[in-house]
């Protein structure tokens, strides 16, 4: 989900399209954790793509929320719109109140935990998300969110465990596979990252973010022509070339990215990543 002034995809540098697992590495903009794991409230309401319409949408739902702040659908939809406008602090406040009213509602806790993560409250988000589902009834989107939080905290092995558990429930889900691929990249295992992201991008429901994350990992391996080719699937040729150029610059300016890029290749590692029985495309 695009942030702030909602620029079109062609206006975004590729690094701004990297998912939340990569937050904190160089200057990439943070994307919503809800974007990776499903909408924060999993509401059926579709947000407008136009910035002006989105602001009017948020104002309308804000008035509804003021009239009845304890209504779950209203609060979840309003919070979703606030996050789309990069108003994460306000979204957290809305969902915190809802969580106080419905302390045992898993859907509410899941939305609240993801909003906390988007606002940068990683430790609190992890605590809330642990309560947002149960071992008896695990939620793949919450597991994926927990994986993203573990990646932010630097525990990539734990993160991959969450993603793999999510894939057992939702085989070949491209958003989870994309997170898993980026987790491999953070662990400096770029061959596995590429393999996993190729599988993610091959899924029929894969979106632009997944393909651009594959382009990012390809570029980190020096495969710039192929990275540009993947970027062109969603962007005009000029913008695709600019995206790849922005990655080159990003790598050159960041010790962390250069460290990932120059890590030794890992031979003999296990094949990625979908759980047994899932269909690889």
DSSP 251-278: HHH-HHHHHHHTSPP-TTPPPP-PPTTP
CATH 1.25.40.10 domain range(s) in the chain? 133-265
> Which of 194, 179, 188, 156 is closest to 260 using CA atoms?
188
Instruction: Calculate helix-pair angle for 106-118, 140-152, nearest 10 degrees.
Output: 30
Instruction: Dump pLDDT digits (tens) for 116-143.
Output: 998 999 999 999 999 999 989 999 999 9
Specify the CATH number of the domain 32-131. Answer: 1.25.40
Residues 6+ apart with CB under 8 A from 260: 25, 185, 186, 188, 190, 220
Given this model, what pLDDT does residue 262 score?
76
pLDDT tens for each residue of 86-127 = 999 999 999 999 999 999 999 999 999 999 998 999 999 999
- Grade residue 5 by pLDDT with cuts at 50, 70 and 90: very low
Q: Which two tokens stand for residue 162?
A: 């969450």
d(CA 211, CA 121): 28
| pLDDT tens digit sequence for 22-57 | 433 333 333 344 333 333 334 457 888 888 999 999
Going by the DSSP 8-state scheme, the letter that residue 32 receives in this structure is P
For residue 173, pLDDT beyond 50: yes
| CATH placement of domain 133-265 | 1.25.40.10
Residue 81 pLDDT greater than 80, yes or no: yes
């Amino acid at each position: 989900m695009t942030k702030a002034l909602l620029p079109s995809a062609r206006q975004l540098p590729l690094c701004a399209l990297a998912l939340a697992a990569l937050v904190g590495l160089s200057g990439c903009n943070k994307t919503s954790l809800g974007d990776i794991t499903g909408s924060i409230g999993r509401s059926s309401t579709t947000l407008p793509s136009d910035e002006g319409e989105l602001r009017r949408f948020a104002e309308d739902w804000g008035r509804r929320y003021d009239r009845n702040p304890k209504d779950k659908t209203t609060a979840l939809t309003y919070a979703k719109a606030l996050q789309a406008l990069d108003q994460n602090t306000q979204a957290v406040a809305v969902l915190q109140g809802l969580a106080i009213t419905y302390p045992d509602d898993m859907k509410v806790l899941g939305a609240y935990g993801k909003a906390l993560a988007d606002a940068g409250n990683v430790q609190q988000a992890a605590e809330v998300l642990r309560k947002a589902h149960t071992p008896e009834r695990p939620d793949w989107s919450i597991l994926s969110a927990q994986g993203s939080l573990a990646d932010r905290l630097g525990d990539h092995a734990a993160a991959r465990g969450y993603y793999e558990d999510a894939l057992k429930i939702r085989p070949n889900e491209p958003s989870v596979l994309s997170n898993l691929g980026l987790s491999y990249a953070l662990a400096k295992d770029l061959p596995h990252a590429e393999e996993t992201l190729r599988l993610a991008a091959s899924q029929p429901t894969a979106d632009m973010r997944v393909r651009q994350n594959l382009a990012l990992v390809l570029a980190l391996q020096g495969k710039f022509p192929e990275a540009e080719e993947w970027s062109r699937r969603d962007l005009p040729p000029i913008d695709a070339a600019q995206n790849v150029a922005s990655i080159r610059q990003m790598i050159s300016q960041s010790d962390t990215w250069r460290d990932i890029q120059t890590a030794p290749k890992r031979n003999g590692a296990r094949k990625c990543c979908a759980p047994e029985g899932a269909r690889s495309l």
